[in-house]
Amino acid sequence: MQTFLVISTAGPNRDLSMDTREQPWWDEHAAFIDGLVEVGFIFLGGPLVDEGGALIAVRAEDEGSVRTVLANDPWYQNGILTLASIKRWQIFIDERAKVG
């Protein structure tokens, strides 16, 4: 498995005057994302608050797999988010891994 950073921008149907959880298809999007967290695909993520986009860190075999999985997200399908980039990422620093 490889690690990828996925950056999304506000899609054409994103209403920047509304909070993330107030966007159309929020419940469907949240359920989809929760499912990806449960299976270990997404391990870190959240909205880019000032822009209406999002950043997620995922584990997948390759970029094509990332695209295939995310194509099923109701927010991509309905224009709330637009996929901007997928970058392979090698983690060198992870403060959470410190042993106390």
Give the pLDDT confidence score for residue 96 in this predicted structure. Answer: 82
Spatial contact of 2 and 88, defined as CB atoms under 8 Å apart: yes
pLDDT surpasses 80 at 99: no
Residue 97 pLDDT > 80: no
In the chain, domain spans: 2-90
pTM score over 0.85: yes
Q: Which amino acid is at 7?
A: I
79: left (phi over 0), alpha (psi -120 to 50) or beta: left
CA distance 65 to 51: 26
Query: Over the stretch 32-84, which tens digit does the pLDDT of each residue have?
Result: 999 999 999 999 999 999 999 999 999 999 999 999 999 999 999 999 999 99
Q: Are 65 and 72 in contact (CB under 8 A)?
A: no
- The pLDDT value recorded for residue 85 is 98
- State the Cα–Cα distance between residues 20 and 26, nearest whole angstrom: 8
Where does 2-90 sit in CATH, by number? 3.30.70.1060
